[in-house]
Amino acid sequence: MADDSDRFIEAGTPTFRRATLALFAAGFSTFAVLYGVQPLLPVFHDTFDVSPAESSLALSLPCATLAVSLLIVSPLSEVWGRKRVMAASLFASALLTIGAVLMPSWHGFLVLRALTGIAASGLPAVAMAYLSEEMHGRAIGLSMGLLIGGNALGGMVGRLLAGVIADHASWRWGLGIIGVLALFAALAFQFALPASRHFLAHRMRWREVPGTFTHHFRDAGLPWLFVEPFLLMGGFVCVYNYIGFRLLEPPFSLSQTVIGLIFVVYLAGTASSAITGHVAGVLGRRKVLWLAILFGIGGIALTLADNLVLIISGIVVVTVSFFGAHSVASSWVGRRAFSDRAQASAIYLCMYYLGSSLLGTAGGWFFQHYGWPGVAGFFGSLYVAALLIALRLTRLAPLPPAGGPAV
């Protein structure tokens, strides 16, 4: 029998299904743990007597610690191995989530949320590096889309469970159940993910680590691709952070359960990430990225209406836009970075989570002073900047192909 240990993973094979299932579960767990608190921000506002912007720290703080930790944990995966780092991340973040629900004080809760962000940092960039190393060029767009689809489904289920259970029992029960589900996802990941075929561990000299990051900024396209997630995620998280506050108030006066059900639209993100990633792999990322972003600008305009159907339609469009654009940009980074891919992915995701943390909290200021039109205007300005960058990237000279289309 021929030795196939050097072959890249092709779409449609049993190995592809195992890898994507494992990473789908990992993305599900990480996003459920991180974003399950989002519909609970109004609950924290009332329970702990904090402002809307302060309540957003339950989400912004772990995103900030995750962003910084990515830059440390990703180089460690070059030494310890991709799967080992990702599995440790999943188990630790699940256990810290369970511990957080037992904290009686707001500040104690925030401390454990910050630690959860550090623990979760071992998954996102390392998973992107694993896919970039193991998948064939024809399969990477679909596999990255499925990973992001797991993120979307985890975000949806986490938000939905937390919102519904908080309305009928307690936010602590809701977040605790998310922690238990995350433990099961970690177990599924451990048993399902195939071992790396193309990863070679090497000794890391820490004085050399900065160079493994900075050389990516000499590429003509990567620095611009690193800015995109900061803008896109910053605007997207503002929508979900503060839409609950708007819909709890008249004339809508929705219950926490109904608001939680709105997060079902994350299913649209699950589908759009995989579909857009596949289309971009066929047609080219330059032709798809700017269109996905433009779609989001149209979506936020719909949320300015006073009609609930139009508002929800706008949220659906914004969600499809974000996950589609994120799928394209993240896979593009993996294709342009020919070395130190974990570090390139770490920079991308550092900017992604910094956008969630810094711009997500900044959106609270716009909501407090200008209401929902202020949030929508803030979102629009971020997405217009992202659109201009995407249009600039259409003129980017492609690199030679490596197992797939030119990038």
Residues near 150 by Cβ (< 8 Å), separated by ≥ 6? 23, 24, 25, 26, 27, 28, 31, 270
- How many other C-beta atoms can be found within 10 angstroms of the C-beta atom of residue 115? 18
Tell me which residue has tokens 């699940």: 94
For the record, the structure tokens of 345 come out as 């992915």
pLDDT at 45: 84
Q: What is the pLDDT of residue 205?
A: 66
Report angle CA 176, 179, 185 to the nearest 5 degrees: 150
Q: Name the residue type at position 180.
A: V
Interatomic CA distance for residues 9 and 250, integer angstroms: 53
Supply the pLDDT for residue 402.
46
Q: What is the pLDDT of residues 175-196, one digit of tens each?
A: 999 999 999 989 989 888 887 7
pTM over 0.85: no
Per-residue model confidence (pLDDT) at position 5: 45
Q: What is the pLDDT of residue 203?
A: 66
Sorted by sequence, the CB contacts under 8 Å of residue 136 that are 6+ apart come out as 8, 9, 10, 11, 403, 404
370, 238 contact by CB (below 8 A):
no
Residue 330 one-letter amino acid: S
How many Å apart are CA 240 and CA 319, to the nearest integer? 10
Q: Characterize 342-353 residue by residue with b for buried, 16 or more Cβ atoms within 10 angstroms of its Cβ, and e for exposed.
A: bbbbbbbbbbbb
Low-confidence ranges of the chain (pLDDT < 50): 1-5, 402-406
List C-alpha distances in Å: 310 to 260, 303, 304: 17, 6, 8
d(CA 29, CA 405): 32
Q: Cα separations (Å) of 75 from 78, 80, 85, 118, 345?
A: 5, 9, 10, 15, 11
Write down the pLDDT at residue 204.
62
Residues 6+ away with beta carbon under 8 Å from 88: 122
What pLDDT is stored for residue 359 in this prediction?
93
